[in-house]
Structures are given as C-alpha cells and as structure tokens.
Structure 1
Amino acid sequence: MERAGRGILARSNNGSVVSAWVGAEQNCSDPIVEEASAIRRALVKAKLKGWNRIEIQCDCKVVVDKIMEENNQDARIGTIVEDIMNMKEDFCTCSFSFREREGNYVSHELAKFALNLVTDIQWKDSVPAWLTSLARRHMGAVAPIL
C-alpha cells in the first residue's frame, strides 16, 4: 500500500520557523489531490493558530493555477479548491504561489520524513535542531509565509 507524506512549514516575516507539521496518509491517491489536500490542511492549521496574513507556497503548479483561477471544475480536486476558496475569506491576506521543488525544499523533506511516521507530529514551541538548520540553509530559496 502506498503512502503519501505531507510536510507543512510556517515561517515568520523574517524567515524563522514558527511551526511545522508532518504526517502521512495510508491510501495515497493522485499527487494533485494530495497537494490540494495539504493546502487545505495548512489553511485549517493557520486559522487554528489565529494567523490572519499568510502566503501558501506549493510546488504543484496545477493546483496553484486551479486555486488562482478559482476553478473548481476539476473532478479530482474541485471540492477541495472550493473549500480552499471559502477558507481564504477567513484571512485578512491569503495568497498562493507556485515554487519549484528547489524553492519548496524544506516542506518536501518534511513530507519524506513523514513517510516513516506512525502518527502526525506538530512542532509549535520548540522546533528540532535538524529542522531549524535545514530551514536556515534554504531560507534564501523561499519567501516567508506568515
């Protein structure tokens, strides 16, 4: 049975890591569905944190384009895109941008790490040293997302 890992990294305006989440799904579906679901999950987490200005970066151009076009006609992700558009209204500022895999490296590495997990992990007050170091090394590759 295939698994899909997800990694969500939240940075402050100055680029420092403020929170991170990792987890895996047992029944891996279409990668586009997994990416759209990860964005929806990131919005839920940001809302629960009380953040009101966010930027979501994703390395799946198809999903970002569907969100930007507000196109929920895709049978695979239409409902998820509709959820994302509805949740977007909960924030003062909420934007979405496409980043090449190299620019989204830390989230990708977190997703790979998640494949070995039995349960989800959330780091909120204290982020592990390896994650802080990884994020610091790749800080120039992405814009802050808070």
Structure 2
Amino acid sequence: MRRATNDVGVVVRDSNGLVLGSCFIPSGNISSLFAAEALAVIHGLRFALELGCMHVVLESDSLTTISKLKSGVDDCSLLRPYIADAQSMAQAFYSCHFSFTPRNGNEVAHCLARLGQASAVDSYWVEDIPPQALSLVQADRRC
C-alpha cells in the first residue's frame, strides 16, 4: 500500500501477481503521516477480506507502521487505535503477514493514491485496475 498526501491506494494481487482488485480512497484531513499510513493498512485488509482473500501478505512502505504491526509490545503511541484495529482484522485471515516494501516497490499503490487526490469519493475495481496504473502492474509482473 502507498499513499500520496493523505489518500490511500490499494492493489490486491494473487500469488502470481494478477490483480484481484484495486481502489483509491481519499482520506481527507488526516494530519499525521503515520496515521494515514496505518489507515491505508486497515483499508487494504478490509478490501482483501471483501474480496475473499484468506492468505495475505500486506506490504507497506511505512517501516514504522509495519514494525508496530509486527511487534508484540502494546503500542502506546497515537497509532495505537489503528494498530489494534489492523491486528484484530488480521485474525480474520487464515494467514496474514506484514511486510515492509521500499517506496519504489509500491508504485502501483502510489499511482492509485495519486488518482485519489483528484476524487472526492472512494473508487473500487474488482479484477481490474484503472488504465493509468496498468503499465505499472505489467512492469511489476515482468520483474
């Protein structure tokens, strides 16, 4: 997952890299970068559940968020509600792993987040992706 400003971009793929769904969600006026990143995780998990995915590897370029999600320590930061929600949601999957991915490894979600900047409404695609992000998906699959 990648965000631009406070907008969320999510792409859900299968183990072969095929797109199962994608979305962008304008997140409004979230003042904290870390809260926006954690909210992106929650949106990603929710969308994966709605698509019926039961084995998930959630990737984010926010090392802080991923570290807090993987930690067994009770988080006392302002992210605590988001982290607790995400960890609770993770229990609904057969398996759910959180993984840090550098920003350049998250270009599809970043592109979707940029598309969300121009929209006032959430937009979802099932088994599809907006044409503006298609070339990035194809490039990812070649790697």
TM norm structure 1: 0.87
Q: Who is 2:63 aligned against?
A: 61
CA–CA separation in structure 2 for the residues paired with 1:119 and 1:25: 9
Distance 1:31 1:76, change over 3 A: same
Distance 1:25 1:69, change over 3 A: same
CA–CA separation in structure 2 for the residues paired with 1:108 and 1:40: 16
1:64-79 correspondence to structure 2 within 5 Å: 64-79=66-81
1:125-136 correspondence to structure 2 within 5 Å: 125-136=127-138
CA contact (8 A) 1:6 1:23 kept: yes
**Counterpart residue type for residue 20 of structure 1:** S
Unmatched 5+ residue regions in structure 2? Answer: none
1:96-107 correspondence to structure 2 within 5 Å: 96-107=98-109
Moved more, 122-131 or 100-109: 122-131
Q: Who is 2:114 aligned against?
A: 112
Q: Who is 1:36 aligned against?
A: 38
Q: Who is 2:48 aligned against?
A: 46
CA–CA separation in structure 1 for the residues paired with 2:142 and 2:78: 33
Percent of residue pairs bearing the same amino acid type: 24
CA–CA separation in structure 1 for the residues paired with 2:23 and 2:52: 16
| SS of corresponding position for 1:91 | coil
Distance 1:72 1:31, change over 3 A: farther
Q: Who is 1:21 aligned against?
A: 23
Shift of 1:128: 3.2
Q: Who is 1:4 aligned against?
A: 6
Shift of 1:129: 3.4
CA contact (8 A) 1:16 1:136 kept: no
Unmatched 5+ residue regions in structure 1? Answer: 142-146
CA contact (8 A) 1:70 1:81 kept: no
CA contact (8 A) 1:43 1:84 kept: yes
Shift of 1:72: 4.1
Equivalent residue for 2:86, pick from 84, 87, 90: 84
Moved more, 97-106 or 123-132: 123-132
CA contact (8 A) 2:19 2:127 kept: no
TM norm structure 2: 0.88
CA–CA separation in structure 2 for the residues paired with 1:104 and 1:13: 16
**Counterpart residue type for residue 112 of structure 2:** L
**Counterpart residue type for residue 115 of structure 2:** F
